[in-house]
Amino acid sequence: MSVGIEFLLNAHVEHAHAGPTLALLDYLRDRRRIVGIKEGCHEGDCGACAVLLGRPGADGVWVYRSVTACLVPLADVASCHVITIEGLNRADGAMTAIQRAIVDGYGSQCGYCTPGIVVSFTELALSAQRMPTRDDIRRALGGHLCRCTGYGGLLRAGDLIAEALGALSLPANRSALVAADLLPAWFDTIDTLREGLDPAPALVSEGVPLAGSTDIYTRGPAQAAAPERLRLLSREPVLHGIQDTGDGLRIGAMTTTRELMESPAMAAIVPTVASDLLPVAAQTIRNRSTLGGNIVTGAHNADLATIMLGLDATLEIVGSAGRRELALADFYRDATQVDLAADEIVAALHLRRDPGRRVNFERVSKRSHHDKAIVNTFMACRVVAGRIEYVRLAAAGIGARPQRLRNVEAWLEKRTIDQDTLGGALDRLGVDIAPVDDYQGSARYKRLLLRQLVLAHFLVLFGDAVDMEALTPEVAS
Ligand SMILES: Cc1cc2nc3c(=O)[nH]c(=O)nc-3n(C[C@H](O)[C@H](O)[C@H](O)COP(=O)(O)OP(=O)(O)OC[C@H]3O[C@@H](n4cnc5c(N)ncnc54)[C@H](O)[C@@H]3O)c2cc1C
Ligand code: FES
Ligand code: FES
């Protein structure tokens, strides 16, 4: 099944006629022979296929993000703006300041990873609110695998780009970036180009929901959905944005991991959210992956689901029978089933604000960044006069789904924080969990890991009340 899909591709309006589930990467390379964009893994892991994807944000302002085109369904770019490396080249054949920085920093050899990195450095320039730091540069490079040059040269290139940005008044508008040669001249005409674009296509309100596609497309586009049964959630405004509800937050299911990290409202509830989520995938994935997708997938090691379980989130579910609310803790029926009818979607998550709540997130993966968690855990509690009034302890990687550790919660609640209380909690950790041996580690290792991470919670949340050294020898047993 082919359909007409219109979008801006670099500086022209593209009229594609293709299957809506075709990956954007395959459309560009195979159908259009636009081959500056590279294919590596086709699973979101290497960054070779990065493009800039521009679309209006919740406030109507267009936002450009670096995304992996192998995980983007073609239909999802309708009425959007796709910019490939070809669009970032100057018309006169000279290099932009970003491309020159990579040459001057000795950041390229075979060049296979280079187009994707130019794209992500361009996003860095477009979104810089201040002079980028080394951490910002690392974040931009995250998810771009360079097999032959290594990252020293690319970090130097990033420093040169940061210096060029530092000479501007930031945030810089596109004209200033063009004048500084960080963008090619046609970027000045983007607003006019967008006027030639059809408005967003009509909504399809039934079919398989696709959010950021970073989970479902790793199984291959053909597995994702039959083309005629595609429901693009990006087109549904009610699923976007984070709103204050007075006593808490309503977080639209289409909120991306990056938006969560950058949300001041979310940081008021989880102060460390930006650093907590930094190891979760790479920026190219976090720019697309959504909260709703993470919750509904409920993978055995999902990160956002664990945090939301620990925050006692409630789901707002809508379907043909209307709207209902459900505690996230009741959503996962078993390893494969969730409490969601075929015609229902998760529209949002609701969080209650609790100024007295303390929270902590811990996570271990084999690589420190851009790797799925082996075990993660989130703890939330309220302590009054040395007594635990309320506690939620969630974890993933130790069973088929992210889950609450209810036996431990029941033990901790209403107890005074002392060595016996915390030691008793550690003793009860094994009751709720059923880890399995797999490629990430043995069941025994995961049990030990969970115990260590819960100890880390205690250290962060109650470290001033208990001698943690006294609890640790037991870990060796
Ligand atoms: C390279 C890479 C690294 C990753 N690393 C991590 C990691 O470290 N931690 C982690 O937790 N995850 C990770 N993921 C997995 C994935 O990015 C997340 O689970 C993500 O949040 C899924 O969201 P999505 O919007 O992309 O979901 P999609 O792929 O669009 O959808 C996933 C499933 O949920 C359904 N769905 C989506 N939204 C809704 C909704 N609102 N209502 C009903 N159904 C819905 C879809 O039909 C589909 O079945 C990684 C993925 C990749 C490719
Ligand atoms: S081809 Fe590797 S991330 Fe897309
Ligand atoms: S320059 Fe060869 S892979 Fe990066």
**Residue 218: CB within 6 Å of ligand 1?**
yes
- Could you give the CA distance from residue 302 to residue 292 in angstroms, rounded to a whole number? 12
**C-beta separation of 219 from 23 below 8 A:** no
The C-alpha angle with vertex 173 and arms to 169 and 174, in degrees rounded to 5, equals: 130
CB of 426 closer than 6 angstroms to any ligand 1 atom: no
Residues 188 and 314 in one domain: no
Residues 82/7, Cβ–Cβ less than 8 Å:
yes
Residues 157 and 260 in one domain: no
- Average of per-residue pLDDT across 276-291: 97
Residue 197 in contact with residue 221, Cβ under 8 Å?
no
CATH number of residue 433's parent domain? 3.30.465.10
- Say what the pLDDT of residue 2 is: 84
Counting the structural domains of the chain, the total is 2
- Which of the ligands is closest to the CA of residue 107? 3
Element holding 200 (H helix, E strand): none
Domain-ending residue, one of 195, 219, 253: 195
Residue type, 109: Q
Phi/psi of residue 473, each to 5°?
A: -55, -30
Q: Is residue 397 part of a domain?
A: yes
User: CATH number, domain at 12?
Assistant: 3.10.20.30
**In which domain, by residue range, is 306 found?**
236-477
Q: Please identify, among 195, 223, 250, the residue that sits at the C-terminal boundary of a domain.
A: 195
pLDDT in tens, 54-104: 998 877 789 999 999 999 999 999 999 999 999 999 999 999 999 999 999
Residue in 106, 114, 121 to alter for ligand 3 test, most ligand atoms within 8 A of Cβ = 114
Each residue of 177-198: pLDDT tens digit?
999 999 999 999 998 988 888 7
One domain for residues 252 and 328 = yes
**Do the beta carbons of residue 338 and residue 293 sit within 8 Å?**
no
158 Cβ closer than 6 Å to some ligand 1 atom? no
Cα–Cα distance, 75 to 5 (Å, whole number): 6
Q: Whose CA is nearest to atom 3 of ligand 2?
A: 44
Q: What are 440-469's pLDDT values in tens digits?
A: 999 999 999 999 999 999 999 998 777 777
Residue 107 falls inside a structural domain: yes
Q: Is the pLDDT of residue 225 over 70?
A: no
Secondary-structure percent of the chain, ordered helix, strand, coil, rounded to 5: 40, 20, 40
Is the pLDDT at 227 greater than 90? The verdict is no
- Of residues 88, 81, 90, 93, the one with CA closest to residue 117: 88
**Is 200 among the domain residues?**
no
- Is 153 part of any domain? yes
**Terminal CA-CA length for the chain:** 60
Ligand 2 atom closest to 44 (CA)? 3
What's the DSSP call for residue 3? Answer: E
| pLDDT confidence bin for 476, thresholds 50/70/90 | very low
**Cβ–ligand 3 contact at 148 (below 6 Å):** yes
pLDDT of residue 463: 83
Position 220 pLDDT exceeds 80: no
